[in-house]
Chains A and B, each alone.
Chain A
Amino acid sequence: MDNVTRREFLRKTALASGGCAVFLLLGPGQSVRAAHPVAGGSPLGDYDWEQHRYAYLIDTQKCIGCGMCVKACKAENKVPDGFFRTWIERYEVSEDGEAEVDSPNGGLDGFEEKASHANIAKAFFVPKMCNHCAASPCVQVCPVGASYRTKDGVVLVDQQHCVGCGYCVQACPYGSRFIPHDDGAPYARTAQKCTLCYHRITKGLKPACVAACPVGARQLADMKNKFDPVRKRIITERVSVLQPELLTEPSCYYLALDKEVR
């Protein structure tokens, strides 16, 4: 097969790759991209996500463990039974430093007193939720790009795109994600988590848990609003985050966090 010369081979290859390039440039991918906004504009109409960056402040000394936040989150987001996007933990630490933690049904129905107690030195409630980390391990491990963090600081899941592999559920050190059983709901068997009530905060409303808290233990801050009183508390008071050693850069700040809380 000596009739193909090097010159001819190169010429044909160049023609073929040129044809492919033309197809790829003018193919369906390009027309789709042209129909959508370019990066830089706001994807949400009047709401400009460049103007906000959300953070969350939890004052554990105010929390009374009523579980109204858990109930409101369930109702607002239709969270499946047995799973929680936010939950309350009760800590009872004995005088010997032994900590006992419980969270009956996530605190959804409030708390009952335990049947017996050891000699308790201190006891308190700690609300938990997604920390909306800036260096979020859950987003890093997603193999299909279904988990992401918005410009205004919220970690979201694209349930339409999620394949339900569960890597993110394992990657989250705070236990904030879950994959519900198939109960017939749309996009069952895909990862779910706190969305910081993205449908509410983008309309200027508070997240359901913040709105439901009767004692002001849970608050939303906008770190790009210089006059936000909650932002001021976060930057001026002594706050801590959960498991700082993991360098996940949480956006959830806690006041009066005990060393027993992970």
Chain B
Amino acid sequence: MAIEHKKHVFRIFLLLGAVIVTALIARIFAVPDTFGVYGHYRAANLSEHSAREVRHGGNDACAKCHAAIKTLHDKGPHISVPCEDCHDALAAHIKDGKKVAEMPRVKSVTRLCGRCHRDLVARRDDFPKINIEKHVKDQGAELSDQVCFDCHNPHNPTP
């Protein structure tokens, strides 16, 4: 049996073919470079992630200029507290080995000490917990932002 509408069938297939070819060509430009090298993602993103700036330098980086403080710090009970916990990230202070800004000062020492030492119910009991208000009052002092430092050296506090 002869096909009566050969022309229509031909056109449909031609159209379909054109769509497929267009899609394949568009795909070349739409899919980013390095996509699919290691999996269903853009492989170049791996090095973009690993190339980000390291902002915390660690205690040894601080000790390059502040060696005396580190020696004192490492002899005391705060040895496990990194410098950048109480101060700020190294990158706020040093860039490419040069000082770019002063390290920001801690506004409220009382609050800072309290982050670890306030006697919260949820805080474990085998950790030195202090009712700061009561303790300051018992010592005959007045609560202020810097009051803890009147007796305690934060780099090497003795209880």
Contacts and interface: CB of A to CB of B under 8 A. Distances in A.
Interface of A: 1, 4, 9, 13, 16-17, 20, 23-24, 27-29, 32-33, 36-39, 43-44, 47, 61-62, 64-68, 71-72, 75-76, 90-92, 109-114, 117, 120, 123-125, 145-148, 150-151, 156, 158, 160-161, 195, 198-200, 202-203, 205, 208, 211-212, 214-216
Contact of A75 (B7, B17, B55, B123): B55
Contacts of B116: 64, 66, 110, 214
Interface residues of B, number: 58
A4 B121 contact: no
17 contacts: A1-B6, A16-B17, A29-B31, A36-B37, A43-B37, A68-B115, A75-B55, A75-B89, A76-B56, A92-B122, A148-B41, A199-B53, A199-B54, A200-B54, A205-B58, A212-B56, A214-B85
Nearest to A20: B21
Contacts, number: 164
Contact of B35 (A13, A91, A145, A199): A145
B28 A44 contact: no
Contacts of B17: 13, 16-17
A65 B122 contact: yes
Interface of B: 6-7, 10, 17, 21, 24-25, 27-29, 31-35, 37-56, 58, 78, 80-82, 84-85, 88-89, 91-92, 111, 114-116, 118-124, 127
Given A76-B56, A161-B32, A198-B49, 12 more contacts: A28-B28, A29-B28, A44-B46, A65-B120, A65-B122, A68-B115, A92-B122, A148-B39, A199-B51, A199-B52, A208-B55, A214-B116
